[in-house]
Amino acid sequence: MRKLLTFCITISLFACKEESKIDYTLFSGKIENPTDKLVTVYHGREKVKEISLTDDGTFADTLKVKSGYYTINHGREGSAMYLNPGDDIKVFIDTKEFDETIAYTGTGSENSNFLAAKFLAEEKFDLNYAELFAMEENDFLARMDEIKSSKVEFLKASQSISNELRGLEDKHIEYEYLGNLLNYKSYHSYYAKKEEFTPSKEFMEIFETVNFGNKTDYETLDSYKRLVQGYYTNKIGDSDNPSEIFNEINDMDFPLLKEDLAGSLRYNIGPNNEHNEAYFNGIIAMSTDKKFKENITAKYNKIKKLAKGMPSPKFEEYENHKGGTTSLKDLKGKYVYMDVWATWCGPCIREIPSLKKIEEQYHGKNIAFVSTSIDKAKDHNTWVEMVKNKELGGVQLMADNDWNSQFIKDYAIEGIPRFILIDPDGNIVSADAPRPSNPKLVKMLEELKI
């Protein structure tokens, strides 16, 4: 009897032991015409694993995963995947037609094949965002509804994908739709050149019923993350009392959102923001990153020194395209309109025709037009040739140490193009002046009686 009891206890112990859970997927494949020696898998921004290719372009490894969206990257190309623990997925890619050839086989492959097919289907929309957001409200809504319906139908027709992915994709379609509607105010203002544009009350009513506090969707769906960040960014920007909105956000139990907003809103602290103090205090309260707080404090202190009437930071002996060097002190006695740019910057290059018109309009007046390139030293010849080929006028300079030039740091320049206006005494008129394409620039120069 005692032996039987011992045997039963032993069986019971084994029966009660929790089965080990599979937390990995098998991942292998072949890259035809590889452009790199690695395949890299990401989960959001987190790098899951780098996998080396063999000489024939094949690879194989295991990935520790939880169910969700992933990305496979090779060279400069990438594609979305959906992985579950227990999947055994093989992928084939020919880099000569990356998106068109990517194909998955094996257990769980249906989900990733859907995402690859979805990408190709959405490419066919061939949206011209300038035309789309320039549309009047009713036409824009009709087009958005049409696009949303097409995506819904594509999802319905995909019968083989998992219920989990179907549910996420259904949400993604809605969040993407709402994100475009949220962007309409600022984008329409820009593309339709309506500076004071505000959508109708009826247009904005849809956001009154949206839940902007879903932590699970925030961590899972990039479209929802963009929507929530955009909503609160707009809410702060549209408020006459940003501190009130910052306090509202900081009272929320949503640490990931607060850290993300702190990172993105840091760029709103700038010379032309009348609410810099509110942004600084709100961002400091949002973040738990000590180093980030130190950096944002240093930036804020710089910005305070860039107010109108403050002495401008100096640059010394920048290379002049015409030969020799030029310093800011050489231009004293004239207004200086400075364009900080680079040869690789598309928005900078798009401003060139407008800049040439302004230069022509103010030719012979008491103003110097100075373009300062922050190209790296290795791109020096590219700068020389572009200035020559595009027949750029004014004073063409090259900064001494690209982004690390002291002048660039002192002006807290984190993005280009950036335009600066300095008066004849070397004092700041505007540390973030209007672009040449903006009618406000001529208005500003006229008010200065240049």
Q: Specify the pairing of strand 335-341 against strand 418-422.
A: antiparallel
Check: CB of residue 63 under 8 Å from CB of residue 28: no
Q: What confidence category does residue 126 fall into, taking pLDDT thresholds of 50, 70 and 90?
A: confident
The pLDDT tens digits for 265-289 are 999 999 989 999 999 999 999 999 9
DSSP string, 106-134: EETHHHHHHHHHHHHHHHTT---HHHHHH
In tens, the pLDDT along 181-204 reads 999 999 999 899 898 899 999 999
Contact between 188 and 197 under an 8 Å Cβ cutoff? The reply is yes
Is the predicted pLDDT of residue 363 greater than 70, yes or no?
yes
- Overall pTM > 0.85: no
Q: Counting beta carbons within 10 angstroms of the beta carbon of residue 309, is it exposed (0 to 12), middle (13 to 18) or buried (19 or more)?
A: exposed
Domains of the chain, start order? 24-123 (2.60.40.1120), 129-304 (no CATH), 318-447 (3.40.30.10)
Report helix angle 255-265 to 276-286, nearest 10.
Answer: 140
DSSP 203-249: HHGGGGG-----HHHHHH-HHHHHHHHHHHHHHHHH-S-HHHHHHHH
| Max intra-chain CA distance, the chain | 113
User: Who contacts 203 (Cβ-Cβ below 8 Å, separation ≥6)?
Assistant: 137, 141, 181, 184
Least trusted range by pLDDT, from 9-23, 185-199, 242-256: 9-23
